[in-house]
Amino acid sequence: MTEKEKCEKGLLYDANYDPELIDERITCKDLCLEYNQIKNSDLPKRKELIKKIIKKTKENLCIEPNFWCDYGYNIEVGENFYANHNLVILDCATVKFGDNVFIGPNCSFYTAGHPLDVKQRNAGLEYARPITVGDNVWFGGNVVVLPGVSIGNNSVIGAGSVVTKDIPDNVVAVGNPCKVVKAIDEN
């Protein structure tokens, strides 16, 4: 089984020394660097390149530079996706965003995690767990979402939060660790 196949199955895998994964990350990061250097006024070129990096998108999306990801092919974004400056997505596993997702500046989504066992960690092993974000979700600035987390529809994640566990639909959640502070009433 290849390291990429191990990753896809949620097993420990070698991301640091595997030539296939290194090659894919280099290719993606070169595209991210190119994207980050496009003039803001050149919207058609920005849209064309972001769709080359992120293979699964709808039509209406905007990611402000700087943007970095590991592979790109594991990211899916819905319609009306907006991310402010300095978005980082470590997409070793799938990161899926629904429609009408708005992300404040300096937010990060990490699917990669590392073993607690020091020998495994020092050997360069890691694991990857998917992140899922529902529709109509808003992230304040400086939010970090950790591996394996799902965030429900219509929820708001407050600025500076570190999301370590699933967040349900229709709530405001804040803090480190991020916790639900109130339900969102439709009225």
Is 85 annotated in the active site?
A: no
Which run of H or of E encompasses 20?
A: helix 19-36
Could you give the CA distance from residue 139 to residue 108 in angstroms, rounded to a whole number?
10
- Inter-axis angle of helices 43-53 and 19-36, to 10 degrees? 170
Angle at the Cα of 133 (from 74 to 152), degrees rounded to 5? Answer: 155
The catalytically annotated residue of 4, 25, 96, 114 is 114
Query: So which residues are the catalytic ones?
Result: 114
